[in-house]
Amino acid sequence: MIVITGGAGFIGSAMLWELNRLGEQNVIIVDDLGSTTTGQWRNLSGLHFADFIPKDDFPGLLEKNCLTGIGAVIHMGANSSTTETDADHLLENNYGYSKKIATYCLAHNIRFIYASSAATYGDGSGGYSDDIPGISNLRPLNMYGYSKQLFDRWALRNNVAEQAAGLKFFNVYGPNEYHKGDMSSVVYKAFHQIHDKGKVKLFKSHRPDYQDGEQLRDFVYVKDCTAIMAWMLENPAVSGIFNIGCGKARSFRDLVNASFSALEREPEIEYMPMPETLRDKYQYYTCADMSKLRAAGYDKPFTTLEDGVRDYIQGYLGKANPYLDISTVL
């Protein structure tokens, strides 16, 4: 049996889709669905799983040994808002909760795969290497990144990283992110701006070494992320903390142009000032060093930005039902 925490969320539900696609349905989903108005429950509606456990109940069930037969826990559950201001909530939700699950998994020899974040790299001045000594010295720019950094450091101090796999996700985009609001990808926002107004707004650059729209990110398609996690389930000896990107930095202008192209429309981009509250926390460049994952044996190619955006827009956003659905595979 496989447990996915945050299983109704973006990457969590995409991982359930991946497991279903591979023929696995003995999966327990752990999450908090919140209000029906967010639509997060829809991420599960076309997928197959054995049971659903409320997020707050899960640690207690583990402590009482009420759940037997768990072979792996894929821990995707977290508050992923980079603008969250409640530091105590982030500490408990992203750090304390993760420690409880990791401790149980290691004590019971259960494969543990967890989500870290590229937000831990801060302004990128220290580079984007997932080399262990460097990870301990990173300085995130926001509390979300710091909560993930705290857990990475705890995992290293307590030898968790020697037995588990931590995944530093870069800019993930793709289907089932629709409930994320302001935290949804630029592809999702671009699609709706093009549909509603025929143009896309991007932030101006406030650094002389970057032109407007030329801020760079490592954009990675969610289907590549789930393929990596499936590979890690098949290779439990692979452990450590790994970057999960595609290893190429592309501009927001490239991404928006790909969005217009997928819709067969000419690009029209408008640049707007970045809010002052974001300017000192904004990353102008991210690019995952993927050599560690490659050295561990993962050799599948990554989806190009153009192909990923096209698949997302034409295969999902442009459809009446944009959610990942396993019915066409089974």
In a domain, 310, yes or no: no
Structural domain including 51 reads 2-174+219-245+287-302
- Say how far apart CA 62 and CA 67 lie, in whole Å: 6
Amino acid found at 297: G
Q: Which of 180, 199, 204, 248 is catalytic?
A: 180
pLDDT band at 32 (very low <50, low <70, confident <90, very high): very high
Q: How many domains does the chain have?
A: 1
Q: For 53-67, what is the mean pLDDT?
A: 94
Does the pLDDT value for residue 75 go beyond 80? yes
Weakest mean pLDDT among 19-23, 159-163, 190-194: 159-163
In a domain, 88, yes or no: yes
Provide, for the chain, the percentages of residues in helix, strand and coil under a 3-state DSSP scheme, each rounded to the nearest 5: 40, 15, 40
In sequence order, the β-bridge partners of residue 241 are 166
Q: For 125-140, what is the mean pLDDT?
A: 86
In a domain, 19, yes or no: yes
CB distance 173 to 185 below 8 Å: yes
Q: What is the DSSP letter of 213?
A: T
- Say how far apart CA 141 and CA 14 lie, in whole Å: 28
In a domain, 202, yes or no: no
Weakest mean pLDDT among 78-82, 92-96, 316-320: 78-82
What pLDDT, in 10s, does the model give residues 211-253?
A: 999 999 999 999 999 999 999 999 999 999 999 999 999 999 9
Q: Which of 128, 144, 221, 316 is catalytic?
A: 144
Total-model pTM: 0.95
In a domain, 241, yes or no: yes
Whether residue 180 lies in the annotated active site: yes
In a domain, 236, yes or no: yes
Question: How many of the other CB atoms lie within 10 Å of CB of 242?
Answer: 22
In a domain, 179, yes or no: no
In a domain, 214, yes or no: no
CATH assignment of the domain containing 160: 3.40.50.720
CB distance 60 to 83 below 8 Å: no
Whether residue 146 lies in the annotated active site: no
